[in-house]
Amino acid sequence: MRKVVFVGATKGMGRALSRRMAERGDRLFLLGRDSEELGKAATDLSVRGKGESVAHGALDLESPDGFDAALDAADAALGGFDTVVITAAMFATQEKLEEDADFALRLLRVNFAHTVALCENARKRLLARGGGTLCVFSSVAGDRGRKPVAIYGASKAGLSHYLESLDHKFRAQGLVTICVKPGFVKTGATAHLSPPPFAGEPEPVAEMVLRAIDRGTPLIYAPSIWRLVMLAIRHMPRAVMRKVGF
């Protein structure tokens, strides 16, 4: 049984993964900024869990000053957590980000700088108690510079780089770092977009991620076909990338 701090359990892939963890008996503490949605998710997970009540607390990825207090609350509720899962992030189309510089800056802060700050806080706590698991959702958008995801992809590229570095540096000390790179998954955040080939669903992605958490797999593409898709894209000549629209 894991003691899990979960950031982003109210929507999409995070909701699917948190449900699977609750159903198998893991203890969860939810963090987020929408108290009403957190309460609904906590009630749902408490019903699904094996006699475990799920509590929740406030954390806003735009306000890193609150990270310490949020993790302190999780520690107190769980009696010391051993796993941190972060699925929360901001998303917008390239067009939206190019038109709204303020929003673009918010997204870059949340997806990279503030997520790294939260991971660093969690990392120090986990290492101080002998290790644990840090599972963070990045994206295939960070694997290569591409026209439709220039700014969003940059935020995820930085995050992926950081997570890989953590795995290299701290795995021997007991910190298991897992970087999840979803391809296009049909969630509320992508509902307004036309799904490309190989689009995934939240439930199968959650199953893959849970398996990776249990095995300590450092990198996972979900759905798995995206590993091959991105391999091809990473090796595509720059002259070709300038001409294509993906």
Q: How far apart are CA 88 and CA 110, in angstroms?
A: 9
pLDDT value at residue 202: 84
Peptide bond into 196 cis (omega under 30): no
Across the chain, mean pLDDT equals 93
Q: Please tell me the class of the 3-243 domain.
A: alpha beta
Percent with pLDDT over 70 in the chain: 94
Q: DSSP labels for 23-65?
A: HTT-EEEEEES-HHHHHHHHHHHHHHSSSPPPEEEE--TT-GG
What backbone torsions phi and psi does residue 165 show, to the nearest 5 degrees? -60, -40
Q: How far apart are CA 210 and CA 216, in angstroms?
A: 10
pLDDT value at residue 159: 98
When pLDDT is averaged across residues 124-129 and rounded to a whole number, the result is 97
Cβ of 102: how many Cβ atoms within 10 Å? 7
99 vs 193: which has the higher pLDDT:
99
pTM value is 0.93
When pLDDT is averaged across residues 126-140 and rounded to a whole number, the result is 97
pLDDT value at residue 190: 54
pLDDT value at residue 245: 79
Statement: residue 193 has pLDDT above 70: no
When pLDDT is averaged across residues 180-191 and rounded to a whole number, the result is 70
Statement: residue 198 has pLDDT above 80: no
Q: For 11-31, how does the pLDDT look when each residue is reduced to its tens digit (9 = 90+)?
A: 989 999 999 999 999 999 999
Strand intervals (E) in the chain: 3-7, 27-32, 55-58, 83-86, 132-137, 175-182, 219-222
pLDDT value at residue 246: 77
Q: Domain map of the chain by residue range?
A: 3-243
Instruction: Let me know: does 227 contact 50? Beta carbons within 8 Å.
Output: no
